[in-house]
């Protein structure tokens, strides 16, 4: 069967009909009043009716069904979750539900053993015990704790404690004259992607790496541990991939290509994202016998953790043997994508996606988020059945193998990249959620829209809107625009399924939800029992998240003029340039910041003119107006403007990352480093490369400016 999305996205249809939508826009830095515009036009579905519909019981039903058995990627359990997801999407009225299948490298542990040999003998448990209140925690099908993509090996060496195992931690060790060459490092989880920790250890000459969760970060120092509280118990372990995603995400054997039949695969030894030393996760209960037997210098005060010992760096006293062997098989994964076809522009797609695979049950990560998204699907389906079919198509995606390294979404993006770049309007990523503060990250062009719709949904258990609560928790990120306050969006780095859409394809992307720290993350304790007791009791946060996602999708699908604001984007780039200028001054690097600033000034001036044209159109483009080719072309240019930030050669050392404004830091993992091409060349002391990447960045800014100039010309032709 021909893939429906491929057929739809490849369509060149130009006869576009617009029915009954009011204009949605946010116009910044222009002397006009900012007016909230509703994008819903039918008499049967106003926003107020829409956001009253989420049902907590529906979300709970999905969470229980999808987290009832372990369902790691590549298992029969996860195939069953795909079938469940597809069945619900069909029931809710989606016109087509498709499966995208890939064959990818998904290792499984065969042997795991860690032994403290001296000064005392101790065999690490390396397993999480079940807890009495939660019957699911006794399930024998759960995979044991491991770090996928770590190398096989049998190594014996003294242990060195490296704090969080980050670049700055090794700088401290250097200042103390301490080397980890030939040693096994023990690093605590937190502050960066775990794969960065193992890579930095290996680059420093370590022969093995142990990762543990310190009670200061998510254990008893924070509060009561599971089952009495939500924090990690003594022998709780955080599973997780150590794929080197700052180089590229997705199947490590098929970079830049979808992992389909007939695609040539790299040999394991040539896959640069695979770790080259053994790495294992352990509990703080297992870490204690090692840490308390370390000798050498006392660790700095900021390195002291929550265990009742004095943390030392280690010299040669504590010797450990690590044994690790994996089954390096290629296994099947499947994405599920439902399409609700748009009435006027079915080839244009507004997409939201959440992954489905988990480490174990994954009731909170990711199933709570995936279940809330299913409730969004039900609501949107009912809106369509009630007479309001959106103008553009809406796609709801359930990705596979995210936990291994964003594999399902990356393979999909690589397979359909040309069609997606032409027709995917926006990608909203919906990850896990737990009761907590609201957060949002994404491209700045979507900042005004999100600020607007968060004012329309109430914060759970509060008399405030989500916007008011968000603003209060993010005071340092609040800015005033035309007399109105907005909260700035965070930057998208790594760690979830937005990566291929933004960093590789240049599609406007956004992620938002509710979050707070907890100790069941990536463990057997992330179960339905935990969700009910500590994740989202009463499912009040899931309901509000459902409302907000529904509003966002329908606003984007129905907007007569797509609500992208590049004045907000240029403002953000201004901040990044100022930060870059400080680095250039400190490092005394001969990079011409003025040229970059001049390019962004031209981008901002053009964006202001475009906003003025859009403001004019807000009063001239009427509901039920006749098809208008210039308006269609205007929206197409607004869709493709983000991709003008791409450079097809990518970033130095990692060509998969093409976006010149946003990328995960090479050594930061999750966190974004804006203007990474220039910043990282400076960090490496490569002045020539820094100058080259400054020119590349300058060119990207001018390309976006040129795209917006074309958009102005089309706007001026709209009747």
Q: What angle do CA 494, 500, 502 make, to 5 degrees?
A: 80
Is residue 11 scored above 80 in pLDDT? Answer: no
- pLDDT tens digit string along 40-65? 223 233 444 555 578 999 999 999 99
Q: Which residues contact 14 (CB under 8 A, 6 or more apart)?
A: 629, 632
26: pLDDT confidence band, cut at 50, 70 and 90? very low
Is residue 17 scored above 60 in pLDDT? Answer: no
> Coil, strand, or helix at residue 29?
coil
What was the pLDDT predicted at 714? Answer: 95
What was the pLDDT predicted at 49? Answer: 58
Is residue 2 scored above 60 in pLDDT? Answer: no
Is residue 667 scored above 50 in pLDDT? Answer: yes
Q: What are phi and psi of 50, to 5 degrees?
A: -60, -50
Q: What angle do CA 200, 206, 208 make, to 5 degrees?
A: 100
Is residue 504 scored above 50 in pLDDT? Answer: yes
Average pLDDT over residues 160-170: 97
Is residue 649 scored above 80 in pLDDT? Answer: yes
**What CA–CA distances, in Å, run from 410 to 44, 255, 404?**
38, 10, 11
481: pLDDT confidence band, cut at 50, 70 and 90? confident
Average pLDDT over residues 215-244: 98
What was the pLDDT predicted at 9? Answer: 36
What was the pLDDT predicted at 505? Answer: 98
Task: Record the tokens describing residue 257, joined without a space.
Answer: 């290509």
Is residue 34 scored above 60 in pLDDT? Answer: no
Give the range among 317-321, 532-536, 616-620, 661-665 with minimum mean pLDDT. 616-620
Give the span between the Cα atoms of 78 and 404, in whole angstroms: 14
Is residue 388 scored above 70 in pLDDT? Answer: yes
What string of H, E and C letters represents the secondary structure of 654-665? Answer: ECCCCECCCCEC
What was the pLDDT predicted at 623? Answer: 54
- pLDDT tens digit string along 341-369? 999 999 999 999 999 999 999 999 999 99
Average pLDDT over residues 138-155: 97
Average pLDDT over residues 473-478: 85
Q: Are 440 and 512 in contact (CB under 8 A)?
A: yes
Q: Are 689 and 640 in contact (CB under 8 A)?
A: no
Per-residue b/e over 260-297, b at no fewer than 16 CB within 10 Å? eeebebbeeeebebbbbbbbbbbbbbbbbbbbebbebe
Place of tokens 């991709």: 643
- pLDDT tens digit string along 302-314? 999 999 999 999 9
Is residue 14 scored above 90 in pLDDT? Answer: no
Closest among 520, 536, 535, 352 to 431, alpha carbons compared: 352
Give the span between the Cα atoms of 252 and 101, in whole angstroms: 17
C-alpha of 517 from chain center: 17
668: pLDDT confidence band, cut at 50, 70 and 90? confident
Q: What are the structural domains of the chain?
A: 4-105+331-430+493-558 (3.40.630.10), 108-327 (3.50.30.30), 566-717 (1.20.930.40)
- pLDDT tens digit string along 257-267? 999 988 999 99
C-beta neighbour count of 717 within 10 angstroms: 12
List beta partners, residue 651. 654
List beta partners, residue 159. 184
**What CA–CA distances, in Å, run from 479 to 56, 484, 486, 542?**
35, 8, 5, 28
Q: Are 439 and 490 in contact (CB under 8 A)?
A: yes
Is residue 24 scored above 80 in pLDDT? Answer: no
């Amino acid at each position: 069967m021909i893939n429906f999305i491929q057929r739809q996205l490849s369509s060149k249809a130009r006869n576009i009909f617009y029915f009954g939508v009011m204009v949605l826009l946010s116009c910044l830095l222009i002397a006009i009043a900012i007016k909230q515009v509703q994008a819903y036009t039918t008499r049967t579905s106003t926003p107020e009716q829409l956001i009253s519909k989420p049902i907590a019981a529906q979300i709970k039903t999905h969470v229980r069904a999808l987290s009832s058995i372990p369902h790691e990627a590549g298992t029969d359990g996860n195939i069953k979750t795909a079938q469940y997801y597809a069945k619900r999407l069909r029931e809710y009225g989606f016109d087509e539900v498709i499966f995208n299948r890939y064959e990818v490298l998904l290792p499984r542990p065969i042997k795991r053993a860690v032994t403290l040999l001296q000064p005392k003998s101790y065999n690490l448990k390396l397993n999480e015990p079940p807890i009495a209140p939660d019957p699911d925690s006794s399930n024998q099908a759960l995979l044991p704790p491991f770090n996928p993509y770590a190398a096989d090996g049998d190594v014996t060496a003294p242990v060195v404690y490296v704090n969080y195992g980050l670049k700055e931690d090794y700088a401290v060790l250097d200042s103390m004259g301490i080397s980890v060459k030939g040693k096994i490092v023990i690093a605590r989880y937190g502050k960066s992607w775990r794969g960065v920790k193992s890579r930095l250890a290996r680059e420093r000459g370590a022969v093995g790496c142990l990762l543990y969760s310190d009670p200061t970060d998510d254990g008893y120092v924070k509060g009561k541990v599971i089952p009495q509280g939500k924090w990690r118990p003594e022998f709780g372990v955080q599973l997780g991939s150590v794929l080197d995603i700052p180089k590229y995400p997705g199947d490590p054997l098929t970079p830049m290509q979808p992992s389909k039949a007939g695609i040539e695969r790299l040999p394991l030894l040539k896959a640069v994202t695979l770790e080259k030393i053994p790495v294992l996760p352990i509990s703080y209960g297992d870490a204690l016998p090692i840490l308390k037997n370390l000798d050498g210098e006392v660790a700095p005060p900021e390195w002291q953790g929550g265990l009742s010992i004095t943390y030392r760096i280690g010299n040669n006293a504590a010797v450990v043997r690590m044994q690790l062997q994996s089954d390096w098989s290629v296994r099947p994964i499947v994405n599920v994508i439902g399409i609700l076809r748009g009435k006027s522009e079915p080839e244009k797609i507004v997409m939201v996606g959440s992954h489905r695979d988990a480490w174990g049950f994954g009731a909170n990560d990711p199933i709570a988020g995936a279940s809330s998204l299913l409730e969004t699907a039900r609501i949107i389906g009912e809106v369509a059945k009630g007479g309001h079919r959106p103008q553009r198509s809406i796609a709801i995606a359930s990705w596979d193998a995210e936990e291994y390294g964003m594999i399902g979404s990356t393979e999909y993006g690589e397979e359909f990249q040309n069609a997606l770049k032409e027709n995917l309007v926006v990608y909203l990523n919906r990850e896990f959620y737990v009761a907590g503060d609201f957060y949002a990250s994404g491209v700045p062009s979507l900042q005004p829209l999100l600020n607007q719709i968060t004012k329309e949904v109430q914060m759970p258990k509060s008399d405030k809107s989500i916007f008011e609560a968000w603003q209060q928790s993010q005071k340092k990120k609040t800015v005033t625009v035309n007399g109105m306050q907005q909260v700035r969006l965070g930057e998208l780095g790594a760690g979830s399924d937005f990566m291929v859409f933004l960093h590789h394809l240049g599609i406007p992307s956004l992620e938002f939800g509710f979050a707070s720290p907890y100790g069941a993350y990536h463990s057997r304790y992330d179960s339905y029992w935990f969700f009910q007791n500590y994740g989202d009791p009463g499912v009040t946060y899931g309901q509000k998240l459902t409302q907000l996602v529904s509003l966002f999708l329908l606003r984007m699908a129905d907007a007569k003029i797509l609500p992208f604001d590049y004045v907000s984007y240029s403002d953000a780039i201004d901040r990044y340039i100022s930060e870059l200028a400080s680095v250039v001054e400190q490092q005394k690097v001969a990079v011409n910041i003025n040229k970059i600033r001049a390019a962004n000034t031209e981008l901002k001036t053009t964006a202001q003119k475009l906003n003025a044209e859009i403001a004019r159109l807000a009063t001239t483009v009427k509901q039920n107006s006749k098809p208008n080719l210039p308006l269609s072309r205007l929206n197409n240019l607004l869709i493709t403007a983000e991709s003008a930030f791409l450079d097809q050669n990518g970033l130095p050392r990692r060509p998969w990352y093409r976006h010149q404004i946003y990328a995960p830091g090479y050594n930061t993992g999750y966190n974004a480093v804006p203007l990474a091409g220039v910043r990282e060349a400076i960090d490496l002391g490569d002045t020539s490369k820094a100058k080259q990447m400054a020119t590349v960045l300058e060119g990207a800014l001018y390309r976006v400016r040129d795209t917006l100039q074309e958009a102005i010309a089309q706007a001026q032709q709209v009747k």
